[in-house]
Chains A and B, each alone.
Chain A
């Protein structure tokens, strides 16, 4: 059971915008700005898309953006493209003991 809750699936048409949510608690997402987002295509290694809530690593398209409100972080993909179809995972600092936890993952389907 993941400490971070993501929807199992989301979908959108090319050109549209979609948002993936990642809900934690006031002890993790709500307090610390250590939320990251990863994109994973089948059989491939995860790719870092967003770190520290809203920062994009160099080379990541500006169609990807991250934000946080209360205990929920969000990944927004604008101008949806076919190659965006993948699994998306959030992660967050959770405690000084366990440190990090991933969400359960969200499958994005581009219709």
Chain B
């Protein structure tokens, strides 16, 4: 079964840091681009960041650029999101998702999603 499982969320003070992880199973991890998407309470989906299958190419939304870093360890089938300088507006459920096509550079249709991990930024 193809599966993505996030972890690492929690309560953090403004200005703090968190590192999210997304453990993958059931597919050839390095063959697929991966994406982080977040959803604030009662709000819509927001694309956050993406990374190619090899890990050599990364992309970020303007709202997180310079503060978040996406990475992956293909030997551990794990995706990461390092979040620094967190703000109240970063409060959301963070979910990782897999590109549908088996192309390391296909980011546009995401067919497998995790259940998400909750990040709350509050003092």
Contacts and interface: CB of A to CB of B under 8 A. Distances in A.
B12 to A, nearest CB: 24
Contacts, number: 70
A48 B116 contact: no
Contact of A48 (B59, B62, B110, B115): B110
Interface in B1-52: 35, 37, 44-47, 50
Residue in B35, B44, B45 with the greatest tally of chain A CB atoms within 10 Å: B45
Given A45-B115, A98-B61, A51 B50 contact: no
A69 to B, nearest CB: 19
Interface of B: 35, 37, 44-47, 50, 59-62, 95, 97, 100-101, 107-111, 113-116
A57 B98 CA distance: 13
B109 A101 contact: no
Interface in A32-81: 34-36, 38, 40, 45-48, 50-52, 55, 57
A104 B43 CA distance: 8
A99 interface: yes
Interface residues of A, number: 29
B7 to A, nearest CB: 16
Contacts of A104: 44
A82 interface: no
Contacts of A52: 108-109
A46 B113 contact: yes
B100 A51 contact: yes
B27 to A, nearest CB: 14
Contacts of A93: 108
